[in-house]
Chain A
């Protein structure tokens, strides 16, 4: 049986781990490679790095971090942030990433998703959708780390990028990110039910019950969280235990 995944996320800027609270007020909190190794030992199902500065001058730092992580952690690694070209994807895969996540570049040029999927396979193309509620059961796609609205409907966008070859969607609620109030379950469920590919729920986890809700009620097959793990509030094993307790299959 396929197990539901718990994915700790490390927000990385200039090679250091930071944690966004509504994408501002960044708090420096460590070395990404050390963090990754800890999560690996603790039984995380995957790791996610999001390069939140994603400016071109810091790009090589990111490749180094990915490479050093891949040398020490024999588990799946998704890297996103600033992925704009097929060459960006190739460099990340060569450094040791297994999947790359695309956000702004997909919105800027939707054909990029199709090109990336054809070149590297759908299984390594994650489209990150940052969405903010715009009305009852309506969400708008945001780009540039949540700073720029696009006017695009998030559910329609999810369908479109999936049809283009995205292999997975990382759905983050901009309303919930950093709030610790839990995932936007309505958003997660609306996207999960609209597409055939796996959906990772993201944004807003404050306790373990939120992880349960993301899978049970949001129909996600993976849950992503940063601060609850990063600051040691909960361990990966606590998350697995809570999911198991709720009858959700975990490793």
Chain B
């Protein structure tokens, strides 16, 4: 199988690629992991990963600057139903819009806004940075085998405010619930970094590679 990691100038791609390679080895799946900015490669891929670190607007601009990429993602993921994983800002880009620095339209795949975190306790630091414990709201094949309370690594100042509760798969507590995973149909997104979350993250990536929604 071919897994495309979309490269639009946001960082973190090497560790995402290496973690997926490790996951493929552990799952005994013959997978080629392609880090690519080429829409044709994304079209050929079986699974698609959209990573992302940085600012929402900058990431959206980077993605839009790749010729044909957003159209291809819509065709392959939304119309074609290919398994899709968004990570961190890659997950946030699935939203209707982002409100970081400026209001910017997202891919609008899962209805919601990406807004500054507002923990109830003002002493809590922003960014929400470090290891927090996952609480699940719905079962999902990509989250299978990850125990409630498992730790995942977060680093973000903005969160995905999901409009429809049925799209909310997992949260963490940080002065109130913070979206940790969202999904519908063939789409899943994680605010945390599976590629930085040691065994929990590798488990999720193995599940994603095996996922046939």
A and B co-occur in one complex: yes
Please report the number of residue pairs spanning A and B whose Cβ atoms sit closer than 8 angstroms: 120
Q: Is B173 positioned at the interface, with any CB of A under 8 Å from its CB? A: yes
Q: Is A28 positioned at the interface, with any CB of B under 8 Å from its CB? A: no
Known: A71-B18, A196-B126. A3 touches B151 (CB 8 A): yes
User: Which label, helix, strand, loop or mixed, suits the secondary structure of the B interface?
Assistant: mixed
Q: Tell me, rounded to whole Å, the shortest Cβ–Cβ distance linking A32 to chain B.
A: 16
Q: Tell me, rounded to whole Å, the shortest Cβ–Cβ distance linking B159 to chain A.
A: 12
In the complex formed, the residue of A with least CB distance to B122 is A196
User: Which A58-105 residues sit within 8 Å CB-CB of chain B?
Assistant: 67, 70-72, 74-76, 90, 93-99
Known: A70-B14, A94-B14, A99-B155. A3 touches B130 (CB 8 A): yes
Is the pair A93, B196 in contact by a Cβ cutoff of 8 Å? no
Is the pair B127, A197 in contact by a Cβ cutoff of 8 Å? yes
Count B-side interface residues using an 8 Å CB cutoff: 40
Is the pair A76, B133 in contact by a Cβ cutoff of 8 Å? no
Which of the 9-residue segments A117-125, A174-182, A204-212 touches chain B? Answer: A117-125
Is the pair A121, B202 in contact by a Cβ cutoff of 8 Å? no
CA distance A94 to B132 in the complex (A): 25
Q: What 0/1 readout, one digit per residue, does chain A (175-195) give for beta carbons within 8 Å of chain B?
A: 000000000000000000000
Partner of B198, one of A4, A75, A98: A75
In the complex formed, the residue of B with least CB distance to A92 is B11
Residues of A within 8 A of B124 (CB): 2
CA distance A67 to B54 in the complex (A): 19
Known: A2-B174, A76-B155, A197-B126. A251 touches B15 (CB 8 A): no
Is the pair B14, A95 in contact by a Cβ cutoff of 8 Å? yes
Known: A70-B15, A98-B196, A119-B54. A2 touches B130 (CB 8 A): yes
Partner of B127, one of A3, A70, A123: A123
Q: Is B12 positioned at the interface, with any CB of A under 8 Å from its CB? A: yes
Q: Is B53 positioned at the interface, with any CB of A under 8 Å from its CB? A: yes
Q: Is A201 positioned at the interface, with any CB of B under 8 Å from its CB? A: no
In the complex formed, the residue of A with least CB distance to B205 is A74
Q: Is B160 positioned at the interface, with any CB of A under 8 Å from its CB? A: no
Q: Is B85 positioned at the interface, with any CB of A under 8 Å from its CB? A: no
Residues of B within 8 A of A251 (CB): 131, 151
Q: Is A22 positioned at the interface, with any CB of B under 8 Å from its CB? A: no
Residues of B within 8 A of A99 (CB): 155
Known: A76-B196, A167-B127, A196-B126. A124 touches B151 (CB 8 A): no
Most chain A C-beta atoms within 10 Å of own C-beta, residue among B128, B153, B154: B153
Partner of B125, one of A75, A90, A196: A196
Residues of B within 8 A of A51 (CB): none
Residues of B within 8 A of A70 (CB): 14-15, 18
Q: Is B197 positioned at the interface, with any CB of A under 8 Å from its CB? A: yes
Partner of A93, one of B11, B131, B157: B11
In the complex formed, the residue of A with least CB distance to B196 is A76
Q: Is A221 positioned at the interface, with any CB of B under 8 Å from its CB? A: yes
Is the pair A74, B198 in contact by a Cβ cutoff of 8 Å? yes
Partner of A5, one of B58, B130, B193: B130
Partner of A118, one of B55, B195, B196, B197: B55
Q: What 0/1 readout, one digit per residue, does chain B (1-43) give for beta carbons within 8 Å of chain A?
A: 0000000000111110011001000000000000000000000
Residues of B within 8 A of A67 (CB): 14
Ordered by A's residue number, 28 sampled pairs between the chains whose C-beta atoms are within 8 Å are A1-B173, A2-B128, A3-B151, A5-B130, A67-B14, A70-B14, A70-B15, A71-B18, A74-B198, A74-B201, A76-B196, A90-B11, A93-B12, A94-B14, A96-B18, A98-B193, A98-B196, A117-B55, A120-B58, A121-B89, A123-B53, A123-B156, A167-B157, A196-B125, A198-B127, A199-B125, A221-B125, A221-B130
Those 6 A-B pairs whose CB atoms lie nearest each other, nearest first: A93-B11, A121-B54, A96-B14, A198-B125, A70-B15, A123-B155
